Amino acid sequence: MYTPADIEEEELIVDDRPYVGSLLWKSRLYSIEERHSNTLSLTLGIVGPAALAEQSQTFIHEIIGARTPNGWDNQISNEPVFRVEAEHVRRLFDWDIASNFSVDGIAMGEAGIGNWRSNVGAGLGLRLGNYLAQNFAYYQPLGARSVNTFAEAPPQKVFWQLGLSAYGQYVFNDITIDGNTFKDSHSVELIHDQGFISASIALGWQHWNLIFSTQRGTSQFEEQKSKTNFGAATIAYNY
């Protein structure tokens, strides 16, 4: 879900981002070689009241005692969304520092098209940890904005990673900022050139993964008042 900074204001805030609720399904197909991988992914979903973001946010904020979101009457209309995306990830180098402790560098490029979002981007990442070769293909430069599946640990082994990354992209369209594609709705002026830095820590044991990540970025739209800061926690089970 995406909201303006002041969620207690009932009236439309014309110079802040639209209220957008999204409900998305994403599938990825991987082709993995020894030092590089290619990924093709498809995202399908819906934005608007049908995503039930208003009910979800109101319910959660009541539980945690946070501010009541009052502006969801201004959200964009229902619209099916899609995105087709291709990614290339390459392991540039790797050094063994000690037993089960190494460092590597990752480069990635991506391009995607759809009414959800269209962009081209590239990033670089540095990782510290163990069993790095097993999961370089699942590298995500913006961990706080996506679900990173990480990888399975060897049987009865615990593995961990620390990561830093930098990522830049050119965004052609973004429905969370541009508003509805085929209807008039609230929107703000998209900034096409965007940059981000991200840090993460990941732990894994057998089929379970736990990932914490944070992201800091440049402004995404004109007259943006709040900072582009995100954080996320992911629990994943691989089977």
pTM for this structure?
0.89
Residue 167 placed within a domain: yes
Q: Residue 69: enclosing H or E segment and its boundaries?
A: none
pLDDT digits (tens, 9 = 90+) for 123-165: 999 999 988 888 888 888 877 666 666 665 565 678 889 999 9
Q: Please state, in angstroms and rounded to a whole number, the distance separating the CA atoms of residues 57 and 64.
A: 11
Place of tokens 């959800």: 116
Q: Residue 101: enclosing H or E segment and its boundaries?
A: strand 101-113
Q: Mean pLDDT, to the nearest integer, of 68-85?
A: 96
pLDDT digits (tens, 9 = 90+) for 23-61: 999 999 999 999 999 999 999 999 999 999 999 999 999
Q: Which structural domain range is residue 203 located in?
A: 22-237
Residue 229 placed within a domain: yes
Q: Residue 53: enclosing H or E segment and its boundaries?
A: helix 53-64
What's the structural domain count of the chain? Answer: 1
Residue 8 placed within a domain: no
Residue 14 placed within a domain: no
Q: What is the CATH number of the domain that holds 103?
A: 2.40.128.140
Residue 93 placed within a domain: yes
Rounded to a whole number of angstroms, the CA Rg of the chain reads 19
Residue 16 placed within a domain: no
User: Six-digit token pair at 105?
Assistant: 């560098």
